[in-house]
A and B are shown apart, each in its own frame.
Chain A
Amino acid sequence: MSDKRQKLFEILAQVAERPITELSLEQKLKDDLELDSTQALDLLSTIEEEFDIEIDEMEAAKFETVADLLAKVGG
C-alpha cells in the first residue's frame, strides 16, 4: 500500500469509525461508509490539512468513492 493510500485510509478509518481492514477503494463514502454531512466535512477538511491541498466545493460535491479521494491526494 502506498504511503498516501495508507495515510488516507487512516484518516478515513478515524472519521468513519471503522477498522482500517474494512476499507476498500470501491466503497461509496455515503452509501457504504454511511458518512453524514458533518463527517463528510470533517473528512475533507482533515484531508486538506494532512495532504496540504485545497478542495473546492464542486470537487467536494463530486466525490463518491474512496478511490475518488485517493485520486485527489495523488495516490
Chain B
Amino acid sequence: MATTYTPPTLIEAMRALEDGTHPAPTGGAGLGIYDRRGKNLDRRPYAEVVGRARAWGAWFLSQGVKPGEVVYLCLPTGHELIEAFLGASLVHALPCNVALPRAIGGLDAFQRRLSYLSDRFPGGHLVTTPDVAESLERPAWTPPTLDLTQQAPLDAVDPNSLCYVQLTSGSTSLPKAVAITHANLAANSRGIFVGGTGDATRDTFLGWLPLYHDMGLVGIAFTAFFHGASLGLMRPETFVGSPLRWLTAISEVPGKAVNCAPNFGYQWCVDRIRPDKLKGLDLSPWRLAGVGAEMVRPGTLTAFQERFGPYGFPTTTLSPCYGMAETTLAVTFTHSAREPVLHEGRVSCGSKIEGLEIEIRDSEAGELVEDRVEGEIVVIGSSVFAGYFMDEAATAEALREGRFYSGDLGYLHEGDLYVTGRLKDLIILDGANVAPHELEWVAEQHVDMDGGRAAAFSLEVGTREVPVLIVETKTAPEQSVIDAVKGQAATDIAPLHELVFVRRGCLPKTSSGKVMRGRVKVLYLEGGLDVLWRSRDENATPKESS
C-alpha cells in the first residue's frame, strides 16, 4: 500500500475531503451514527461533515475562542461531537473529549472531574448537552444552531503544532492530559491504516468505543477520516446493552468491516450473546478486529473464535495490538492477516507500526536488553506525544532524549512484541485507565488516616481486572466511613473488589515515604498485612487467576 495518501495534518485532511482532492475514492464515504438501538444509520458524507465543522469553527471564533485554548467536549457519540472537535481544531484551539456523567450516581464525580480540569488547566471552555449544562454551576456552552454560511477557513497549519489534548482517562477524576500534534495524529492513523492494509474502497470502520477513549478517537474515527474510509459509530451503551447489535451492524456493512476494541469488548460478546440469537448472522465481512488497550488474554481470543467462527468469523481477523495515549495510540499492530500467535502462553501484539521504533531496556540499569529478555517498553518516533499538557515534571520523567518510557514491561521475539506486565502501577478496568492515586485519594477524603497511607492495585479475577484498596489507620473505622469510601469508589471509579483497613505503618514504603504498591499486593495475597477490618470474609478471599 505504498500509494496510500495520508494528509499531513487534520486540517489538510478536512480540506482534501471537502474539495474532493483526497485521492481515496471518497465520493460515498462519510460518517454514520447508529441510533440507540444500533439501527437506522444517520449518514453524512465527509464533505458535509467538514462543512459543518467549519461552521463550528466560525462559531467558536465568534465566541472568542483563542488559539491554544482548551475546548472540553462533553457530548454523546454523534455528529455534533465529531464536528465540534474538528471545528475547534480548525481554529487552532485544543479540543479535549470528556466523558458525560456516568450512569447511576455519577453526578458528583463528574462535577469533581470538571473542577479538577478547570483548576489544573485554567482558561478552558466547555461544550455539553443542555441537560448537563443546566446542572453545572460553572458556565458551559450548548451546541448552537449552526449558521452554515459562516465557514472558518481551512488554513494550512504547522504539522508540529498541537492538534488536541487526550486525557489518559476520560472518565475518572484526576487524569493526565496528553498533548498530541497534527503530525502525531497523521503518523499514527497512517501506521494503523497501512499496518492493517486498509483500503478506503472496501473498508468501513465500525466502532462502539467512546470518543474520549484514545482507541475510539484515533483507532477508529481518525484512522478512517484521514484515509477517506467510511465510518460508523454506535454509543458505548448500545453495545454494552446488547453486543449483538455491534455484530449485526458488522454483518451488514457493504464491503469489509474494520474495528478495534479492548479485550473486554470481545469477552463481553462471548459472555452476553446467547448462541440461539446467532442464527443467520454472517460475520465473514469482518476483516480486521484490533484487540488492545488492556492486556490481551489468550482465553478470550480462543473463546471468541470458537463462538463466532461457525458464523463466518475469519480465523485471521483478530489482531492483537498495543499502544497508549502517549504514543497517540498504536505502537504495534498485527500486520499480516494471521491467526493470533502465542509465545510461552502470551499473545503476540504484533510488530511496530510505520514510523516507530521499539526498544526494550532494563528497567533499572536502562540498558538495551536482548530478544526474549523482559524489560521496559520504550518507544521512539513520529507518533510519540509532545508532552503532558502543562506538566513539565511529568513530561521530563516520561520523555527522555526523544524516548517515551511506557512503564509497561515486555520483550521482543522474532520482531513481535509480547507485553508481560506493568512497571507503573496503572489499573485498567474494562479498558479504562485508573491511576492508583485516584482510588487512594478517595480514602484520604473520608478516613482519618492519622498520617498513614493508602495503596490501590488491581487483581485479575476471571477475565477482568478488579480494584483493591488498602488503607492504614490506627483503629478500625466506623461503618459510616467504610460506606463512604466504598460508595465514592463505586460512583467515581468502580466498586472495590475489596477494601482493607490495616494497622498504621504496616505498608512497605520507599526511603522517601512512597508506598510500594507492588509489595503491598504481594503481602495482601500472602496474608502478610496486619488487618483491622476487611470487606470480604475469609471464604471470599480472592485468588489471582493463572
**Interfacial residues, chain A to chain B (CB-CB below 8 A):** 28-31, 34-38, 40-46, 48-49, 54, 56-64
For chain B, the count of residues having a C-beta within 8 Å of the partner chain is: 36
Shortest CB–CB separation between residue A56 and chain B, in angstroms? Answer: 6
Whether A37 and B135, one on each chain, are in contact in the complex, defined by CB atoms closer than 8 angstroms, is: no
User: Would A31 and B104 count as touching, CB distance under 8 A?
Assistant: no
Give 1 or 0 for each of B133-166: 1 = CB within 8 Å of chain A CB: 0010000000000000000000000000000000
B522 in the interface (beta carbon within 8 A) = no
Are A57 and B132 within 8 A (Cβ)?
Answer: yes
B171 to chain A, nearest CB (A): 8
CB of B45 within 8 A of chain A?
no
The residue from A41, A49, A59 contacting B240, defined by CB atoms under 8 A apart: A41
Chain A nearest CB, measured from B18 CB (Å): 31
Name A31's closest neighbour in chain B (CB-CB).
B487
Asked whether B340 is an interface residue with its Cβ less than 8 Å from the other chain, the reply is no
Q: Please tell me which stretch of B57-65, B327-335, B447-455, B489-497 contacts chain A, meaning at least 4 of its Cβ atoms lie within 8 angstroms of it.
A: B489-497
Instruction: Give me 5 A-to-B residue pairs in the complex whose CB atoms sit less than 8 angstroms apart, sorted by A's number.
Output: A35-B104, A37-B432, A41-B240, A49-B241, A61-B107
Q: Is the CB of A31 within 8 A of B490?
A: yes
Is B131's beta carbon under 8 Å from chain A? yes
Structural contact, B487 and A30, CB atoms closer than 8 A: yes
Report yes or no: A61 in contact with B101, Cβ–Cβ below 8 A: yes
Point out residues on B near A: beta carbons under 8 Å.
36-37, 76, 100-107, 110, 129, 131-132, 135, 171, 236-238, 240-242, 264, 268, 272, 429-430, 432, 483, 486-487, 490-491, 494-495
With A38-B240, A42-B240, A49-B242 as contacts: A62 and B107 at CB distance below 8 Å: yes
* B241 x A44 contact (CB < 8 A): yes
Nearest residue (CB) in B for A56 is B131
**With known contacts A37-B430, A45-B242, A63-B103, A58–B132 Cβ distance under 8 A:** yes
Q: Give chain A residues whose Cβ lies under 8 Å from the Cβ of B171.
A: 37
Chain A residues with CB under 8 A of B494: 36-37
Given the complex, which residues of A lie within 8 Å of B429, measured CB to CB? 36
When chains A and B are docked, how far (Å) is the Cα of A59 from the Cα of B134?
13
A61 CB contact (under 8 Å) in B37, B110, B264, B490: B110
Assess whether A30 is in contact with B105, with CB atoms less than 8 Å apart: yes
Residue of B nearest to A45 (CB): B241
> Which listed residue, A35, A40, A54, touches B36 by the CB 8 Å rule?
A54
Taking a contact as CB atoms under 8 Å apart, the answer to whether A57 and B487 are in contact is no
With CB as the reference atom, state the residue of chain B lying closest to A68: B104
CB-defined contacts of B264 to chain A, threshold 8 Å: 38
Known pairs A37-B102, A38-B264, A49-B241. 6 more at Cβ < 8 A? A30-B105, A34-B490, A34-B495, A36-B429, A61-B101, A61-B102
